[in-house]
Amino acid sequence: QVQLVESGGGLVQPGGSLRLSCAASGSIFSLYAMAWYRQAPGKERELVAAITSGGSPNYADSVKDRFTISRDNAKNTVYLQMNSLKPEDTAVYYCNANRYNVLLNRRRDYWGQGTQVTVSS
C-alpha cells in the first residue's frame, strides 16, 4: 500500500550536515507513523527517530540534539535533518512507515530501499 523512496544521503565530513528525505506514495500518508532506522556494517538495525501521525517526535539517545525528524503531510514526505555528524553515524538509513490496525490487532511496516550516509574525513 505504501511505497517509500529515500534520498539525500552521501559523503560528508565530521561535523557536517545532511538532510534525508523520504517520499511516500500509494496510500494516505497522514495516517502513518514514520521513522528513520539505520544499520551499520556488522551491527543491528536501530531506530534513529520516529514521528507519530500527529507530529510528535522521538529520538534515540545517540542522536538527540543533533537530528530532527519532521513531516510534511501535504508533500507526503518525512525528513531527517542531521547535524554535527560523527563517523559513528555512518550507516544505511531506511525510511519506515507503520500503522496499527486495531480491528485486526496487527501492525504493518513498509520500508524504503535505504540511502547510504558516510561520515569520514
pLDDT of residue 101: 87
What is the tens place of the pLDDT at every residue in 80-107? 999 999 999 999 999 999 998 889 999 9
| Contacts by 43-52, CB closer than 8 A, 24 or more apart | 43/91, 45/94, 48/80, 48/93, 49/80, 51/78
- Residue reference for cell 525510511: 95
Residue 110 above 90 pLDDT? yes
Cα(113)–Cα(6) distance, integer angstroms: 7
What is the tens place of the pLDDT at every residue in 9-57? 999 999 999 999 999 998 788 889 999 999 999 999 999 999 999 999 9
- Would you state the cell numbers that stand for residue 8, as one nine-digit string? 539525500
